[in-house]
Structure 1
Amino acid sequence: MPFHLFNVLQGHSKDVRAVSVTPEGSILSGSRDLLAKLWTPAGTDGFVHSATYKGHEEYITCVQSIPPSEAFPRGLYVTGGYDRKILIFNPETEEVIITLEGHTSAVTSIFAVKNDCILTSSSDGTAKMWNIYARVAKVTFTGHDLPVWSVIYLTAGFIVTGCADKIVRVFKKDGTISCSLEGHTDCVRALAPLNDSVQFLSCGNDGIVRRWSAYNDGCLQAYHGHSNSIYAIVTSLDNTFFVTAGEDSQLILWTNIFAEPNIEQIEHPSQTIWDVAILPNNDIVTGASDGNIRIFSQDDERMASVEVMAAFVKECEEAKNVANLNETTRMDTRESNEVKGDGGAKQTSDFVFFVDVEDGKPPLKLYYNKGDDEYESAKKFIDQNNLSYAYLQQIVDFIRQNTPQTSTKPSEPYIDPFTGGSRYIPGGDRDDQSTGKDSSNSSVEPLSKSIFPQKEYVLFEVANIPKIQDKILELCPKTATGEIDSDRINTIITLGTTNVKPSSDALHILMDMMHWPEGNVFPVLDITRLAIRKDVINHKLCSNEFGPKLMKNILGYMAPSSLPVNKMLAIRVICNMMSQPSGEELYAKNKDDIFSLLRTSVIEGTNFNKPLQVAAATLLLNSSVYFTKKNDPNEIRDCLVYVQDLLNFFKDEEAIFRAVVSLGTLYCYSKDSLISSMTLNFLTSQISQSKVEKVVTACKYILNQWESVNKNV
C-alpha cells in the first residue's frame, strides 16, 4: 500500500536540518533556528510539541538519542552544531548536562553506539568516538582529505565514515583503517547500517545509493532513483526497506533491497529534504528546508485531513524546482592579499567574498584565488558551511562575475591546450573560447608531446542549467489550456543534470521536444548534449530503440536550411555522444552522413560563425581520435584527406587550433600519407601570422614531422 501524508509538524522557524526517533517513539528535531524540539505521539492526532532544547550558538546540524540507562531511563538527547559543540540533554529537565568539545569545525553527524558511547563526524576531516561521561574522545579517526559527513558503527566492531573526498572508509576500533571503498563520484553524505553486522549503505551528491561490506568486497549493489544529491538515508529495523532524501524534493522508499529494488517516490514542496527517520510503526519522518516536519504512513487510520492533504498537494504543485539563492543571500566582494581564516590564522587569497545567508548572522567568507576552479571553490565553501547544493551554480556565477577570468596559474607545469588551464574547468562562460596568446615561453616539443597524438575526446560540458531551464520554459509550446507542461520540462532537465538511468518515458519526451519549432528547439538540443555525456543515459539514448530517432533529428538540424545555432548544438551533441562506447557505435553507423552534412551544409555553408567553427573543428578532432583508436589505416588516410580539404575554411583561432590538432593526430598514425601543398602553405602561413602560440607550436610540430619524413625524398 502506498504511503500518504499523516501529519505536518510546524514549530521551527527555519530549515529542519535533522530528525531522529527516541527510544519512546517520539521525534527529536534540530533546526537552523538553533533549537532542538521534542514531538510526542498524540494518538490519531499525530504528534504534538512537548519540549524545546536550547544551548547552541550556531545552527543545529544533527540530533540523536542515547539508549536508556539506570541513571537516565528515558535515555539522553544529543545535538551537534555548526558551533563545533556536542550538547547532551536530560529529557526530563531540558537542560544541558554534558558538553563535548574537540572538533575544530562543524559537527556533521552523531551515532549512538551504546548508552555511554557515541560517534561524531565533522567538517574538520575527522570522526571521534566519545566516552560521554568522561567527556573525552577515546579515539580520533583520521586520514580523510575533506569534511567527514557521516559516521556509523557496525555491530561486527567496525566504524565507517563517509567523506567529501568521495571515499568510504572502514576503521577498526583503535582508529586504524581496515579498508577504503571507492565508487562514489562525488561527496559521500550519509551512511546507514544493515542488520547483518557487516553490510551498510552509503549515499551522496552523485545521487546514487551503494551497498557495501566492511570486508572490502567492493560495491555489492547500486541503487538509482534520485535526480540530485542525496543527503539522508535510514534503514527499517527489519531490513525490509530503506528510505532516502535529498536535493530533488523526493523522499524515496526502497523495497526488495537485496534484489531488483522497487521504489516509491513521495514528492515534497521543498527542494531540500535534509533528513529522514523511521518510527517503530514504520511511519516515515522528514525534515525539510521549509521548516516543516512531515510524517507519512501506510495505515489508513493515520491519514491527514482532507484540508491538510489538499494544501500539501497544492504546495507540491506550486513549488519551485530550484531554490533561488538571490532571494536568500547577498554577496559582496573585496580584493585581498591576505585575510584571516575562520580559525584566526592568516590565509592568503586573491579575493574574499562575503556571503550573507542568514539575517542577523555574520556573513560567511568564501576565499578564492585567481585561476582556481570556480566549481571546486564553491563546493568547498558549501561543504565547509553545511549549505544546500541548490546554491552551487549561483555561487559559481557570482565568482565569475566578480573576478577577472584567467586560464592558468603561472606556476602550473602543464598547460591543457584546449582550455588554457591545468585541466578542464567545467562551467566556464564558453566551451569554445580562444585562450589567446600563451604567455609562457614553452618550446615546440613540450607542448607538442602533450597534444600529439590527441587520445581523448574533447567535450562541450559547460552549462548554466538555470538559464537553459528558463529558456525552455520561455519557448515551450503551451497545452490546450494555455498552460506549460512543467512535468515534461522537469523530466528532461533531470536528464541533463544527473547520471541516473533514464526511463523510456523520459527519452520519449526528449525525442518529442526535438520536434519543437526550429526557432524554439535550441535549448532542448543544449540539454541533450549535456545528457548524452553520461554513460547510463548515453547507453540508452544511443540504443537501437532511440539511436535512429536521435540521429534523424540531429542530422536534420545539420541540414542546409537549419539555423546556425541549431547546427552548432547538433554538432556538439555528436561530439559529446562519442565519449561513451554506445555513442561511438552510433557515430560509426552514421559517419558518412555526418561528414557529408558537416562539409556541404556547415563548413561550406553561410553564417559559418565562431561557435559553429569551433564545434565543427571539434568534431573533426574527435573523428581523428575515433579513427586512430580503431587503427584502421584506410580510414585514417581518408579522414586525413577530408581534414586537409577543410582547413582553409576555419578563421577563428581556437577552431584553427583544433583542426590542426586533428590533422597532426592523424598524421602521427599515417606518416606515409600525402600532405598537400595547400596544407603545407596553410601551416606555414599560420606560423608567420597567428598570434596564438599554441597554434604556431602545433603547426611547427607537424611541419617538423613532415620534413623529417620527406628530407631524403
Structure 2
Amino acid sequence: MPYKLSSILSLHSSDVRDVASPTNDLVLSVSRDATAIAWNRTSDGFTPEHVLKAGSRYVNSVAYIPPTADAPKGYAVTGGQDTVVNIFNLANPQADPDFTLVGHSENVCALDASASGTIISGSWDKTAKVWKNFQLAHELKGHEYSVWAVLFVDEDQYLTGSADKTIKLWQGHKTINTFKGHTDAVRGLAIVPDLGFASCSNDSEVRVWTLGGDLIYSLSGHTSFVYSLSVLPSGNIVSSGEDRTVRVWEGDECTQTIVHPAISVWAVSSMPNGDIVTGCSDGVVRVFSAVDERWASAEDLKTYDDQVASQALPSQQIGDVKKSDLPGPEALSAPGKKPGEVKMVKRGDAVEAHQWDSASGSWQKIGDVVDAVGQGRKQLYQGKEYDYDGVPPLKLPYNVSENPYTAAQRFLQNNELETSYIDQVVKFIEQNTAGVQLGTGGEEYQDPFTGASRYRTNPAASQGSASAEYMDPFTGASRYRAQPTTPAPAPVDAGYSDPFTGASRYTPGAPSPAPPEPVSPPSQKVLPVSKAVTFKQANVPAMQSKISQFNDVLMHEISTSNLAAYPEESSALTEVFADLGDLTAAPPRRGVSSLAPAHIESVISILERWPTALRFPVIDLGRLLVAFSGPAFKAPGLREKFVEALFKASDWNTPWTSPIPKTRETNTLLLFRSLANVFGEKVDLPSSWMVKLFESLGEAPYPLFNKNQRVALATVLFNISVLGVSSPLDSGIRDQLLLSLMGLLTSETTDSEAAYRALVAVGNLAYAGKQSGQSLGTDVATQLKPLLRSVASTFSEDRIRGISAEIFVLLV
C-alpha cells in the first residue's frame, strides 16, 4: 500500500527543524519557535501532551532517551542556538530542564542517544561531544567545518557527518575511518541493518556504505539538498529535503515520492509500526501511513492534495526544459514509467508539474512552475547555490561616498556569495579606495539605505560662498544659517524662533570681538528652548525593502538560515510597516498607532540575533517606532528593554578601536537618532535606569565620532534637557546630564553645531534651576564658567557667544 496522510500536528509557529518518533504513540518535535513538543497518540489522533521551553532561540535538534526508573516515560533531549543540550523528564517535565549539558561554543545542530542513555551532539563549533550520565565523556575533534549529523553505531562507536563533506567513524575519542564521496555538506545519517549506514548531503545524493568504507550504492532522485534520513522496519530508507519531498527507497529504487506543501522538509523519522513522521518549514508535523486504517479521511486527503497542487515550484527544482517544447495536458493520458516521475505540461501560458502516482495509476498535480523555464540550473558550492563556478571575475562597483558595508552587502547578494565574506570585501574596498576624497570644502552624508537623505556643507567662504550653511544631516528642511561675513541688513522681524528647525531661524546680531568673558546678556534671548529636536524623516518602503532583502539573504544561506525572521516575526514586521506608513504619510492616514507590545518584542528578537552588518535598518526602524508608536510601549519596562536592545545591537560594550569600523559607525549613529526620539516626547522613565543610561553614554569615545554622530549625541542630551524645562528633573538625573554635557563640551573642538546644542542644553538646565529655586550651585558655576569661555573662544560664532552670555547671566 502507498503512504498517505494520516495526521497533521499543528501547534508550532515556525519551522519544525527535527522530529523523533521512538514509539507508535509518541512524537517529539522541535522548532525555530524555541519550543519542543511531546505529542501523544489519542483516539482523535496526536495531541500535544507537553510544550517544553527548550531554549531562548532556535531549537534545531531532538533525540529520545528510553525510560528509566527516574523517568518512566523517557527523556526528551534538545539542542539549538543556545549552544547547550537540554534534557527533560517526560513523566513530569518542568519549566527548566532536568539536566543541561554545557560545552559547545556554537549552535547544536545534531543529536542522537543510545539505548543506555548516552548522548552524542554535533555543533557548528566543528566538534561532536559524547555525554555519559549527563557528563562529558569524549570530545571528537577532526572535522574542518560544522558537524551536521551524529549517529550511534553501538555504545562505543559513532558516526559524524560534516560540512567538510566527510563522514568519520569514531571509537571512543579516536577516528578509525573517514568516508569520502559526497561533494557537499553531509546532513543526515541512519543505520541500515545488515549493510552499514546511509548518508545524505547537500549534493542531493543518498549514499549507502559499509562500515568498512565501501560504497554499496547511491540513491539519486532528489533535486535539491537532502536534509534527513530514517530507516523503516522493513529496511527501506526514507529521505527528505529542500525539494519539498519525502522519498521512499526500496534498494536503490524510489518507490514513492510524497510531496509536501512546504519549501523544506527538514526532518523525517520512522515509527516502529512503519509510519513516517515529517517536520517542515511551514511549522507543521505530519504523519503518513501505509495502512489504510490509519489514513486521514477522504476529505482531509483531498484538502492535502489541493494544498500540494496550489504550490509554486521554482523551475530549477524540476529541470531544464524550454517552454516551447512542452506538451499540452493531453500528455497526461500516457502512464508514467516509474513512481515519482515528474512531467511538465503547458496549459495556456502556465506551466504545471505533475507526478506519477503508481498507487492510483494517475498523474497528480504538484504545483505551478515559476521563475521562468529553461534557465541553467545552479551549481552547489559549500551548501549554497551559485550561478557560476568561480568565473568570470566579478565586478564590484563602488562610490567613495558610500558606506563600504552597504556596497559589500549589495555585492554579496548580487553574486549570491556568503555573508561571512563581508569583512573581506569591505577590507578590499578600503584598501583600493584609500586616499580618495570628494570635493575640497565639504563632506556628504548619505543615509545607509536610502540615498534620499543627505548632509552637505557649503564650500568655504574662500571659495566665494556668501555664507556658511549648516543643514541638518537627516532632513534638508532644517537649517541653521550663520551670520554672513559682511554685515547684513537688519531683519524686519527680530523675533526669536527655534534654532534647529527649518521653519524657524536664529538670526544673530552683527559680529563683534569676542570678550574675554561674556558678562552681558545678548539683545536676543534664546533660553529656554522647550521644543525637542527629533529625527522623524521616514522612507518606510525603502526601510521595509532593505530589511526584507537582508532577511532573504539570511534565509537562503544555510549557515545563517536559523537567524532569519520567524513567520510570526515576519507577520509582525508587515504590520509595523503598514502602521508606520500610515503615520508618516503626508498627510497622515491615521493619528494613533495601532501597534501592540508584541510588535516591539518581535523587533527586539530580530535585533538580538541578526549579524552586526545587517542590523542598521532594524535599528533605524527602532528610531521610527519610538517616535510614532507610543502605545506599543505601554507594557511596563518595555521602552527600557527596547533601548537596551538598541545599545546591544550597536555593539556598544565592545571595545572601541580607531578608526571606528563603518558598520559600527552607522549603527552608533542610528542608535543616537533613536535615543533622541525616545526623549522627543514626555516620557516617564525610572531614575535608576536613566542614571545607567548616562553611565553608558559616558563610555562613548567622543573624539572618535564623526560630525553626524556628535550632532546626534548632543541632540539626545538636549532633548533630555527640554524635559526639565516643563517640569524639574530629578536631581540625580540633572547632575548626570550636566556631567555628560560638560564632558561633551570639553571634548568638542571642531564641530560648532554639536557644541551649540550642548550649550543650549546647559542653558535649559540653568534656566529651569533658577525658575524652580534649585540653582545649579556655586561649585557647578565655578566649573562651567571657564568651560563656557573656552567654547566661546574655540568657535568664533555669534550664536556660540550669545548662548554662552545667556548662561553666564543665569549662573550669577
Larger Rg: 2
